[in-house]
Structure 1
Amino acid sequence: MEVGFFVKVFLRGLQRLPAAITLGLMIALTGTGVAAAGPIPDLPVIDEPPPDGGGQGGGGQGGSDFPCAGGGMGREMLVGEIKDFIARHESLHGLSGDPKVYVDTEKHPTVGIGFNLDRGDAREKLAAVGANYDDVLAGRATLTQMQITMLFEGDLATALAAARRIVPQFESLSMARQAALVDMVFNLGPTGLANFHQLLAALARGGYEDAAQSMINSVWARQVGKRAIEDATMMSQGLTCRPQPLPVPPPPVSPDIPGLDPGASGGGHNGGTTYPDGVTTYQPDWGPGPSEHYTCKASVEVYYNGHWVDKVGVECV
């Protein structure tokens, strides 16, 4: 009997275990040496695999209907949720970020939401948001929420463009699966994601469970532990069980973002993300499924204190 059969039986057994046990087993298998930390927040174990095996289904483009642990069915993620998801991986303070420099686990001076001050363009990026690199690096200056937001949105726009370039099927994936890929680019860089050959091959054939397993079996997963498990869970499920977030009301229409309807908050479907201190960003061009308006660009605008204050525009290069 083929080994693959036992693997499938083992994985099905994991799905029937409580979330805390499943997480502990996965961490032990990937060799992280980290003790089980309890259930993955907001990512419950699926009671039964979707009837279509995790491929494209009724949950939206690239998604599959599945039962949530607390009842109901999974739903698409929203842009604001994706940004919060990634920010929580990059900073203990999520979208608030870290206004003062600190040293990360890789010994890099870091500020904001995972912004590495050792990167080659750090001085230029900080100057672009009105911050002095030397003062920030020395701890003499802190970043404002607006500066933290602009640095993060710029890096996310770059990561999104890279994911779209590396994964030909990106636009047909559900938002949850897109979130996992963008998070990987944000963490590993474009080259890092491009080197996940088994993952990319699985995505090409719609094998989302295989894609998730290739993430769990990687050296990267052994390095980052829970982050990889969360990303792999998103890849496998394709939808989220988190409660629908509160709407992000749109401000008056910005002429630079076509289609931003001032009367359609839609629970965040306009691409709205609410940061602390009254900073809000809008990115309505990021959504599930292919779009005839997609031009390989990311356009993000920032609204603060009653005014449109800045715009981030990144092209796929």
Structure 2
Amino acid sequence: MATYLEQSLAKLKEFEGCVPWMYRDTVGKITVGVGLMLPDAEAAQALPFTLGTSPATPEEIAAEYTRVDTLPLGRAPAFYKSPTALQLTQQTIDAKLTSVLEGFEADLRTQLPHYDTFPDTVKMALLDMIYNLGPAGLFKGFPHLIAAVDAGAWAEAAECCMRRGPSAARNAWTREQFLDAVVTTIKAETETWLKRIWGRIRQTLNVLFGRRP
């Protein structure tokens, strides 16, 4: 079964799209992979773009960045792909996304000391939100959500996670992850309660029938 990090990676590809060549997003920023913004040509040159089966040179990467930057913004990603467009391999995209998610997890652990004890669905919801909003956007923009998560109040967190910008489907999915944690927590607490009751029953039976505990 896939780990929560692997599931998060797959959902981000679904929500953000996964484009191996450079393109301009709706506000004109040059982007690649799974919503990875490239602020300048130097940022693009730090990635292992390829031209066909060969590694692209720094000069080729800079030239491709300039080419894309001169095109109109807000078109579909396919508009920016030329016959000689440089691309990233899927392995590179996944590795970069995983690295970014691990960095965001470090931010989450700093702000939420009990992060590692949270249900996997809560971690997935938080990773989706922090990837979309950035650390400042999440921690400063959603104080009630962070307080609810810190208290383990998953139902309350589900009511505080709505964002402006992402699709209704993406917001609904994030909300469902928090609500799923409510069910998971109830199940865990019920199992613990039943084990304690059964333990007491066994102790009582042992006393009644003279058995050793």
Separation in 1 of the partners of 2:3 and 2:173? 14
Is 2:166 the counterpart of 1:229?
A: no
Q: Quick check: 1:77–1:176 contact (8 Å CA) kept in 2? A: no
Shift of 1:77: 6.0
Q: Quick check: 2:144–2:160 contact (8 Å CA) kept in 1? A: yes
Separation in 1 of the partners of 2:11 and 2:96? 16
The more displaced of 127-136 and 231-240 is 127-136
The residue aligned with 2:135 is 190
Shift of 1:120: 9.7
Separation in 2 of the partners of 1:102 and 1:148? 15
For 1:146, give the aligned amino acid: Q
Distance change (3 Å), C-alpha of 1:239 and 1:76: farther
Is 2:95 the counterpart of 1:150?
A: yes
For 2:31, give the aligned amino acid: T
% identical equivalent positions: 25
| RMSD, matched Cα | 3.0
Alignment of 1:145-294 (within 5 A): 145-195=90-140, 196-216=142-162, 221-226=163-168, 227-238=170-181
Q: Secondary structure at the match of 2:174?
A: helix
Radius of gyration: which is bigger? 2
Q: Which has the higher contact order (CA 8 A, sep 6+)?
A: 1
For 1:223, give the aligned amino acid: G
* Structure 1: segments with no counterpart, 5+ residues: 1-74, 92-96, 241-317
The residue aligned with 2:27 is 106
1:81 aligned to 3, 7, 15, which one?
Answer: 7
For 2:29, give the aligned amino acid: H
Separation in 1 of the partners of 2:96 and 2:156? 34
Separation in 2 of the partners of 1:120 and 1:189? 22
Alignment of 1:107-146 (within 5 A): 107-118=28-39, 122-123=43-44, 125-126=46-47, 132=58, 133-137=61-65, 138=67, 140-146=85-91
**Count of aligned pairs between the two proteins:** 157
* Structure 2: segments with no counterpart, 5+ residues: 69-84, 184-213
Q: Secondary structure at the match of 2:31?
A: strand
Separation in 1 of the partners of 2:32 and 2:94? 12
Separation in 1 of the partners of 2:154 and 2:42? 35
Shift of 1:122: 2.5
The residue aligned with 1:64 is none
For 1:165, give the aligned amino acid: T
Separation in 1 of the partners of 2:28 and 2:38? 11
Shift of 1:123: 3.8
TM-score (normalised: structure 2): 0.63
Q: Quick check: 1:135–1:141 contact (8 Å CA) kept in 2? A: no
Distance change (3 Å), C-alpha of 1:82 and 1:239: farther
The residue aligned with 2:81 is none
